[in-house]
């Protein structure tokens, strides 16, 4: 036994180490797949990551592993985690989409609650949960330190997570045929959900990555211009990135968005707007990238989108927000709804454009809800009344999912206007597919609590 321990100690002491920090420009082995989802902060010494569920890898780092232990350490601060989103840092065979091992943050929840699950993934699909942290605020910061160790000599894998100073650990045995062969691998940073593309967002400050038992492979003889431009964009070198993008094909949709970002950082607004040509929206990946930017870098990209697409801005805004817009109580969502639609009155769909009218009703309704949550009652009334008036012009089948009367009733109940609250609640009950379910919904909504001693209110709910 002592000989075995001495042997393992010697292996650990003599192991190769790749230590990745972000206080210097990114080395050339880094391959940036999506420079719109990462940004290096040399002052803060971190890599800012914006991971949108369903999108592909953000960054990759090829390496070689031969024998002995293989360890991965990840130090990050999770700044935002919306339900259905998350972040993965893992290892996979070079050129394969299948993760060999990974540390994961996945956010689930519902009903205003969020649960952050910290886990390790082993052998592709098998997952070991280390801890689950409940909460109500998607923007609650959390400092995480993950360690994942593959120990072939012991036939084990060890995984730990230190979450805000509290350590959680798990070890499990691996069968001999479960151990990976020596070869070429890559470290990958990516969203935790890798299926349907959504606007659900996790953001993190990646502070350090360490690979133990790994070494850099042979560097590529020449880095393609697009790849180099992507790395330069992440480093904030807009002018140098533009020079590289000039060497890339003009019709490639993703680099066109990168070009628009670089031009905007240099204050070349007309050229940046021109780079967002209409055809970009026909490419699903480019459209998803643009929608992600409208959330993560809204103040930069929204003016360009307005200028490039005119009234099309409102559809893009909704497509970017629709997955999370029900998260009222989240300041980021309410800020977007109440500041990014100031010209909504100028959006005038054509008379026969049913989808355009549904969109306008929806935006007025959601902005009204946001104003109500912020206790801006008069602004909420104006938007909800406008939404109700426009909704009456829609075909009946397109009104079914709208809760306008319900929200107007809740607004007036909170404002102490009992007569108005009863009037709108009566309409909501009358139009509901199930009067009983609507009555129960009203009873359990705390916004109506001030009316529980009102005989007329109780009679209304009783029906």
Lookup result for tokens 């070494």: 215
Q: What CATH number is attached to the domain comprising 374?
A: 1.25.40
Q: How far is CA 219 from CA 29, 62, 213, 288, 345, in A?
A: 7, 9, 18, 31, 55
Q: Which helix (H) or strand (E) covers residue 7, if one does? A: helix 2-13
Instruction: Give the pLDDT of the chain (463 residues) as one tens digit per residue.
Output: 444 444 444 444 557 999 999 999 998 889 999 999 999 999 999 999 999 998 999 999 999 998 789 999 999 999 999 988 999 999 999 988 888 889 999 998 776 778 999 999 887 667 889 999 888 889 999 999 999 998 888 888 899 999 999 999 998 887 766 678 889 999 999 998 756 788 899 999 999 999 999 998 766 678 889 999 999 999 999 999 999 999 887 778 999 999 999 999 999 999 999 999 989 999 999 999 999 999 999 999 999 999 999 999 999 999 999 989 877 678 999 999 999 999 999 999 998 899 999 999 999 999 999 999 999 999 999 999 999 999 999 988 787 667 899 999 999 999 999 999 999 999 999 989 899 999 999 999 999 999 999 999 999 998 7
What is the CATH number for 136? 2.60.120.200
Asked whether residue 358 falls in the same domain as residue 252, the answer is no
d(CA 151, CA 430): 65
Distance CA 35, CA 37 (A): 5
Which DSSP category does 136 fall into? S
Same domain for 422 and 374, yes or no, is yes
Report the pLDDT value the prediction gives residue 194, as an integer from 0 to 100. Answer: 55
The total number of structural domains in the chain stands at 3
Residue reference for tokens 């709910």: 461
Reported pTM:
0.90
Which runs of E-coded beta strand occur in 98-253? 101-110, 113-122, 126-135, 142-151, 156-163, 166-173, 183-191, 201-212
Backbone torsions φ then ψ of 371, nearest 5 degrees: -60, -40
Domain extent for 229: 222-285
pLDDT score for 12: 47
Token output for 231: 């790395």
What's the confidence (pLDDT) of residue 3? 44
Residue 283: its pLDDT value, please? 93
Structure tokens at 317: 């805004």
CB atoms within 10 A of CB 328: 16
Please give the pLDDT value at position 328. 63
Q: Are residues 120 and 251 in the same domain?
A: no
Give buried/exposed letters for 427-451 (b at 16+ CB in 10 A, else e).
Answer: bbbebbeeeeebbeebeeeebbeeb
* 113 lies in the same domain as 261: no
Residue with tokens 């959900």: 193
- Residues 184 and 260 reside in one and the same domain: no
Q: How many CB atoms lie within 10 A of CB 247?
A: 11
Indicate whether 8 and 94 sit together in one domain: yes
Strands 113-122 and 59-65: unpaired
Of 265, 285, 305, the residue that ends a domain is 285
270 and 409 housed in the same domain: no
Instruction: Provide the sign of the torsion angle of the four alpha carbons 149, 150, 155, 159, taken in this order.
Output: positive
| Same domain for 124 and 81 | yes
Please indicate, yes or no, whether residues 267 and 298 belong to a single structural domain of this protein: no
Task: Report DSSP state, residue 323.
Answer: T
Q: What are the tokens at 25? A: 């420009």
Domain identity same for 243 and 391: no
Look at residues 342, 390, 346, 392 and name the one whose alpha carbon lies nearest to residue 367. Answer: 342
* Tokens linked to 254: 């993703």
DSSP 14-49: T--EEEEESSSPPPTT-EES-GGGEEEETTTTEEEE
Q: For the beta carbon of residue 148, count every other beta carbon within 10 angstroms.
A: 23
Helix locations, 151-252, DSSP H: 225-234, 238-245
Q: What are the C-alpha distances in Å from 80 to residues 65, 136, 333?
A: 33, 12, 12
Q: Which of 254, 270, 285 is the last residue of a domain?
A: 285
Structure tokens at 85: 């989103």
Residues 154 and 188 in one domain: yes
pLDDT confidence of residue 368: 96
Unique residue bearing structure tokens 């805000």 = 164
- Max distance between CA atoms of the chain, in angstroms, equals 84
Structure tokens at 110: 């519902």
- Beta-strand relationship, 126-135 and 113-122: antiparallel
What phi, psi does 5 have (nearest 5°)?
-60, -45
Domain end residue (candidates: 219, 237, 268) = 219
Does 337 lie in the same domain as 267? no
């Amino acid at each position: 036994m002592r000989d075995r321990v001495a042997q393992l100690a010697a292996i650990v002491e003599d192991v190769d180490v790749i230590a990745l920090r972000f206080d210097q420009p990114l080395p050339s082995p880094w391959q940036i797949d999506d420079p719109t989802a990462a940004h290096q902060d040399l002052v803060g010494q971190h890599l800012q990551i914006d991971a949108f569920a369903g999108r592909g890898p953000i960054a990759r780092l090829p390496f070689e592993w031969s024998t002995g232990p293989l360890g991965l350490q990840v130090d990050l601060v999770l700044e935002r985690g919306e339900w259905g989103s998350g972040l993965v840092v893992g290892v996979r065979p070079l050129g394969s989409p299948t993760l060999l091992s990974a540390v994961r943050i996945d956010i689930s929840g519902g009903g205003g609650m969020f649960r952050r699950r910290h886990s390790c993934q082993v052998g592709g699909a098998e997952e070991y949960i280390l801890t689950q942290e409940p909460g109500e605020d998607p923007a609650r910061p959390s400092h995480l330190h993950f360690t994942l160790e593959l120990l072939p000599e012991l036939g084990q894998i060890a995984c730990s997570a230190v979450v805000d100073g509290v350590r959680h650990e798990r070890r499990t045995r691996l069968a001999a045929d479960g151990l990976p062969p020596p070869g070429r691998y890559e470290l990958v940073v990516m969203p935790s959900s890798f299926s349907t593309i959504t606007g659900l967002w996790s953001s993190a400050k990646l502070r350090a990555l360490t690979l133990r038992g790994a070494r850099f492979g042979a560097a590529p003889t020449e880095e393609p211009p697009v790849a180099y431009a992507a790395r330069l964009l992440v480093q904030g070198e807009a002018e140098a990135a533009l020079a590289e993008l000039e060497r890339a094909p003009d019709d490639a949709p993703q680099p066109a968005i990168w070009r628009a970002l670089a031009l905007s950082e240099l204050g070349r607004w007309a050229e940046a707007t021109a780079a967002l040509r209409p055809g970009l929206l026909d490419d699903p990946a480019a459209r998803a990238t643009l929608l992600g930017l409208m959330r993560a870098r809204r103040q930069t990209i929204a003016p360009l989108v307005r200028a490039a697409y005119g009234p099309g801005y409102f559809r893009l805004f909704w497509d970017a927000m629709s997955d999370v817009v029900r998260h009222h109580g989240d300041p980021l969502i309410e800020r977007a709804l109440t500041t990014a639609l100031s010209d909504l009155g100028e959006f005038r769909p054509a008379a026969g454009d049913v989808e355009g009218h549904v969109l306008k009703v929806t935006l007025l309704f959601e902005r009204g809800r946001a104003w109500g949550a912020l206790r801006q009652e008069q602004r909420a009334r104006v938007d909800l009344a406008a939404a109700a008036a426009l909704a009456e012009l829609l075909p009946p089948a397109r009104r079914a999912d709208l809760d306008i009367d319900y929200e107007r009733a809740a607004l007036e109940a909170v404002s102490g206007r009992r007569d108005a609250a009863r009037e709108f609640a009566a309409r909501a009950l009358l139009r509901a597919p199930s009067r009983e379910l609507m009555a129960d919904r009203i009873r359990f909504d705390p916004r109506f609590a001030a009316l529980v001693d009102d005989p007329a209110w109780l009679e209304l709910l009783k029906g």
